[in-house]
Amino acid sequence: MEKIKIANQAFPGPMPVVIVGAEVNGKANYLTVAWITRVNFSPPMLGIALGKIHHTNKGIREHGEFSVSVPGAELMKAVDYAGLVSGLKTDKSELFEPFYGELRHAPMVRECPLTMECRVVQTVDLPVNEFFIGEIVGVYTEERFLSDGKPDMAKLNPFVLSMPDNHYWRLGEPIGRAWQSGRGFKP
């Protein structure tokens, strides 16, 4: 098969959908984000790329804190709404029930099965985005979302975003174990 060149705006695969929380002007504010990734193992860090125009960035820059809440698929409509409207024009503080861990300005979403609070360690200024790198200070869940003490993807029921077609997808079934399935493979 011959490879053909397509647009430069391709993405490497589906991206996890999360809700980023920050305190802005004394209120919880939430933003739907899919440009998120782990960037360091120890200490545990993750990065989020947010367009510079977002109201949420103001709170992250002011307090140096943010949260990442992983919603279940049943929250898809509310999560999509949180990304459609700007906190500059719409008060999103009551869209979800907030709770706080160790950090005072990183509201997490109680309805989400997995949440994290992060302290900013670095901000990278990009042409259109700000890339916030945060150290994970605390991770929260409930017993019902765990199997053998670890988050269970089937129980969390997270969803992903594919671009550039802009669709949400549910996770499928596991197809193998990382760092094990390739043992014994012969090229």
Q: Is 187 exposed, middle or buried (0-12, 13-18, 19+ CB in 10 A)?
A: exposed
Report the relative pairing of strands 114-125 and 36-40 from DSSP bridges: unpaired
pLDDT at 73: 97
The pairing of beta strand 150-151 with beta strand 146-147:
antiparallel
Q: What is the DSSP letter of 13?
A: S
The answer to whether 161 and 154 have CB atoms below 8 angstroms apart is no
- pLDDT (tens digit, 9 = 90+) per residue, 40-89? 999 999 999 999 999 999 999 999 999 999 999 999 999 999 999 999 99
pTM of the shown model: 0.94
CA atoms within 13 A on the CB side of 66: 35
Residue 133, both tokens: 């790198």
Q: What is the pLDDT of residues 129-166, one digit of tens each?
A: 999 999 999 999 999 999 999 999 999 999 999 998 99
Per-domain residue ranges for the chain?
Answer: 15-170
Where do the DSSP E strands lie in the chain? 15-16, 18-24, 27-33, 36-40, 45-51, 65-70, 98-99, 108-109, 114-125, 129-140, 146-147, 150-151, 159-162, 167-170
Query: Domain 15-170 is in which class?
Result: mainly beta
- Give percent of the chain above pLDDT 70: 100
